[in-house]
Structure 1
Amino acid sequence: MTLMKLSKLPDRTPVKLSMTLPPNLAARLREYADFYAETYGSREEVADLVPFMLEAFLDSDVDFRRGKRTAIAAGIASS
């Protein structure tokens, strides 16, 4: 079997997630979308920004990454 430099692509099937937000958080997210529009000159819907916001949050959480590495080292499956 030949090994490629590029590994097999991960599952890219979108997963729909529905949730209910408290009014103050919904308002803050709308404010964030307004700030995004002011900063970049293009308006994006809150629902389009949230996945990228969550990814940035998770990527920046040092303790989460550390815990994930610890779990992998211990052989605990994670998703």
Structure 2
Amino acid sequence: MSTSRKLRLGPLPKTESIKLTFACPATLKADLDRYAAMYAQTYGEAVDATTLIPHMLEAFIARDRAFERENKSEKAAPV
């Protein structure tokens, strides 16, 4: 594991998965493949882009302040 660089996405947790298929531009797929290669160098664990995508999306949603505010207001609203 390399400590010289730190990726925004940390080591991946083990989770239950549901299969989802989506299309993306070839340039994004190439970036995802490069990120997966950097991930493998950083953490010493080879993963492919399809393994990283759910964790990247989860991290993105968790840091979206507008989504969080809306989510909190929906939970606080009486049923």
Name the TM-score, length of structure 1 as normaliser. Answer: 0.69
| Unmatched tracts of structure 2, length 5 or more | 1-14
Q: Does 1:20 align with 2:23?
A: yes
| Rg larger in structure | 1
- Tell me, in whole angstroms, the C-alpha distance in 2 between the residues paired with 1:15 and 1:42: 22
Aligned residue in 1 for 2:39: 36
How big is the alpha-carbon RMSD for the aligned residues of Structure 1 and Structure 2? Answer: 2.0
Aligned length: 65
Cα 1:69/1:45, change in 2 over 3 Å: same
Identical columns (%): 38
Structure 1: runs of 5 or more not aligned? 1-11
Residue of structure 2 equivalent to 1:59: 62
- Rounded Cα–Cα distance in structure 1 between residues aligned with 2:33 and 2:16: 27
Distance 1:44 1:13, change over 3 A: closer
What is the TM-score of this pair, normalised by structure 2?
A: 0.69
Q: Provide the residue aligned with 2:9 in structure 1.
A: none
